[in-house]
Structure 1
Amino acid sequence: MTIQQTAPSSSPPPFPSPFPSSAPAVSPVGSDVPGNLAAQLADLAERRGWVERPAFHQGHRAWTHGEVHALAARAATVLAGHGVTAGDRVVLALPDGIAWVVAFLGIARLGAVAVLVNPELPAADHAFMAMDTGAALCVTGPGLEDRFADRARLGADQLLALTSSAEPAPAHPVDAHTPLYVQYTSGTTGSPKGVVHTHGDPKAYHDLIGRRLLRITGDDVTLSVSKLYFAYGFGNAFVFPLFSGSSAVLVDRRPTPAAVDELVVRHRVTLLYSVPSAYAALVADRGRGHGTCFASVRAAVSAGEGLPGELGRQVTELLGAPVLEQIGSTESGHAFCANSFDHNRPGTVGRPVPGFEVELRDRAGASVPDGTEGELWVRGPTVTSGYLNRPEETGRTLVRGWLATRDRAVREADGTYRHLGRADDMEMVGGITVSPLEVEAVLRTHPAVKEVAVVTVTDGTGVGRLRAFVVPAAPQDIGLQSLQCLQEDLLRLARERLAAFKVPRSVSLVPSLPRTPTGKLRRHLVRQGAW
């Protein structure tokens, strides 16, 4: 696949077609278009007898697999009526819900390209993504009517309403390498970049991770705190259910611990996917006397950031089920390294997902031996071929099929990988490189610490000093004197357990830390104090 350069105009050239100009514009729905994801999933549901099985739960309503695919085929006709053709890019700025699912599958059926956008982003980010992709249409939820004023727009409610009188659209012929969707990186270190994935990628996510590692069957019910417009949530709550005949619970906003309790009980959730910060909130809620029965949960998955060992133990105890940590990226589409039921080593991100190759390299690009820290390079079937409109970034990040993840790790003797943070996360203090994760792990052992981030902050003389930014576990219950004692306790704890150059010079107590919508720490903002 070639990533095209596009000028910031209203009608950019489409992605290159993989078919000759003589190819038919459309083909009948069915097994003669196996490459089209929407047609493939509809055929799969029919062949496996899933059409009457629930696929998605939202509120007190459930949609079957058959209903979802019938709605999607009619939604494709509505989208085509609004000018969408094969290769066009369509911004999808919707919260999780049946409208998101139907719109995505409708876009796929037309051979168009969905641009998955967080609806809660600032207006400037929405404008950038619409311009960067040259969107032909923007499908949005309520409250975003003015966000895409210079583009054709279709409201989600209007899309669903129009499907009632629309005829089903045939599936456009594509192959596995045809672009299907664009997803933007989370922007933990700066400007987000558009990552292109293809019609063949979702099946690989399911075959390699959902079916093989998580053993998902038609009886599973998924709840993913990570949303559909993120790589992690897209696989968890969209791909896995539709390829396995199972179902997912969709929530239009990030659920609170109380909401997670209620949803797990009501839908008898078996698979819970979340990020460390949300798991920490779930554990903290039990400390306030709240609780629920997690008897239906057979496994939890953690990704997005490293899961602290003590938190992992607490979550396992709370759920009565294993917590499987994994690591992935927007560029790889989903996880490339993961723990499984057969091999789960807490404190690591597991072994390479079958089909993926993982290497650890030093700054010069040479492989490093087991037990030695290095940067993760990944090669596999779903690694993107490039960033949209970013040839220089593509060239730096993708080298001969290998993806430079910028994640630091060490390989243990048993083949598991222990994640050590991002290469961008390293702090320089007095000419010495310090891993903030090591310092944070020590400070996090204090019972009064909820979250912590350690960064280098430049003082008035221009010298970099380590500073710990700490979110207290229960600040409303701690007096001023106790807060001051907490700062002193943390510095004392650091001096006892760390080398002198790793001890923070100061501790700042803050109400929160800046995070991306996926729960990842925005360390560059902590360094700037800009949150």
Structure 2
Amino acid sequence: MIKVASDLKGIATKYNAADRFIEENVRNGRGEKVAILSGDEQVTYQELLNRVNQFGNALKELGVQNENRMLMVMHDTAENIVSFFGAVKIGALPIPTNTMLQPQDYEYLLNHSRSKVLVVHEDLWSKIKANRDRFVFLQHVIVVTENTSVDANEIDFHELIHNKSTQLESFMSVKDDPAFWLYSSGSTGNPKGVIHHQRSMEAAYNTYGKKVLGINENDITFSASKLFFAYGLGNGMYFPLGAGGTT
């Protein structure tokens, strides 16, 4: 367990954002509270923590290490949040990306980031899988699918985490370590990978989510901006989770 304070000035030397935004809520007695509403699915904070830990353990079994990059091409679902924080918890770097790009754009992002892992929803993967041989550094493709089977060189998301341990120690990062990347839109050239630190979500939550929006544990947030945008990542994920609310 990593102990952290509730505002940026008091962040402990050892800090992991997955511990802060997920596990801290369970420690504070919110385990049975609904963290995510997604279609007909309701995910409690305890269930979310369990899945985050299972995904993190699965990544470790695949050989993913701290600061390895993991590109995400995903719709706004519970699996998105699980993947993001599962990577953060082991010190790997998730990279949420726009779901409306062209195949050549994903080729650039995968190769530029040197991503070792791609987590992708099946309908989005179907549009880019023909280019897999051109993804130079990619080793593992984890596909979120409901009813269809994956190819032999792909990994089913739900099968991957099934029966994995729900216990996982947070990687002992510090507040200034990298936590995730986001790519710019590329309006002035090729998209640029922007590194966000472990403290970045804490800072945005405290200065805007908490002090300006006034989000608290009784709130349910809905974001028109998708999770792959910086705005959406806050509005639809770490603002409500930071307050112990529901997204």
5+ residue gaps, structure 2: 5-12, 146-155
1:136 aligns with 2:108: no
SS at match of 1:201: helix
Question: Whole-Å Cα distance in 1 between the matches of residues 175 and 144 of structure 2?
Answer: 28
Question: Whole-Å Cα distance in 1 between the matches of residues 206 and 230 of structure 2?
Answer: 16
5+ residue gaps, structure 1: 1-28, 249-531
Structure-1 residue corresponding to 2:159: 161
- Compute the displacement of 1:71 (Å): 0.6
Whether the 8 Å CA contact 2:2–2:15 is kept in 1: the answer is: no
Whether the 8 Å CA contact 1:99–1:160 is kept in 2: the answer is: no
1:118 aligns with 2:131: no
* Cα RMSD (Å): 1.7
Structure-2 residue corresponding to 1:31: 3
Whether the 8 Å CA contact 1:206–1:243 is kept in 2: the answer is: yes
- Compute the displacement of 1:235 (Å): 0.7
Structure-1 residue corresponding to 2:150: none
Q: How many residues align?
A: 220
Whether the 8 Å CA contact 1:38–1:109 is kept in 2: the answer is: yes
SS at match of 1:221: coil
Name the aligned partner's letter for residue 154 of structure 1: I
Q: 1:100 to 1:247 in 2, by over 3 A?
A: same
Question: Whole-Å Cα distance in 1 between the matches of residues 53 and 206 of structure 2?
Answer: 25
Which structure has greater strand proportion? 1
Question: Whole-Å Cα distance in 1 between the matches of residues 105 and 241 of structure 2?
Answer: 30
Which aligned pairs between 1:285-434 and structure 2 lie closer than 5 A?
none
1:77 aligns with 2:83: no
Question: Whole-Å Cα distance in 2 between the matches of residues 85 and 210 of structure 1?
Answer: 31
1:58 aligns with 2:38: yes
TM-score, normalization by structure 1? 0.40
Q: 1:42 to 1:224 in 2, by over 3 A?
A: closer
Q: 1:82 to 1:119 in 2, by over 3 A?
A: farther
Structure-2 residue corresponding to 1:196: 195
**1:103-127 alpha-carbon deviations (Å, 9 max, x no partner):** 0011001101111111221011100
Which aligned pairs between 1:176-215 and structure 2 lie closer than 5 A?
176-215=175-214
Structure-2 residue corresponding to 1:228: 227
Question: Whole-Å Cα distance in 2 between the matches of residues 186 and 214 of structure 1?
Answer: 26
Q: 1:30 to 1:156 in 2, by over 3 A?
A: farther
Greater relative contact order (CA < 8 Å, ≥ 6 in sequence): 2
Greater radius of gyration (CA)? 1
SS at match of 2:36: strand
Give % identity: 25
- Compute the displacement of 1:243 (Å): 0.5
Name the aligned partner's letter for residue 160 of structure 2: L
- Compute the displacement of 1:213 (Å): 0.5
- Compute the displacement of 1:77 (Å): 0.8
Which structure has greater helix proportion? 2
TM-score, normalization by structure 2? 0.84
Question: Whole-Å Cα distance in 2 between the matches of residues 75 and 62 of structure 1?
Answer: 18
Question: Whole-Å Cα distance in 2 between the matches of residues 242 and 125 of structure 1?
Answer: 31
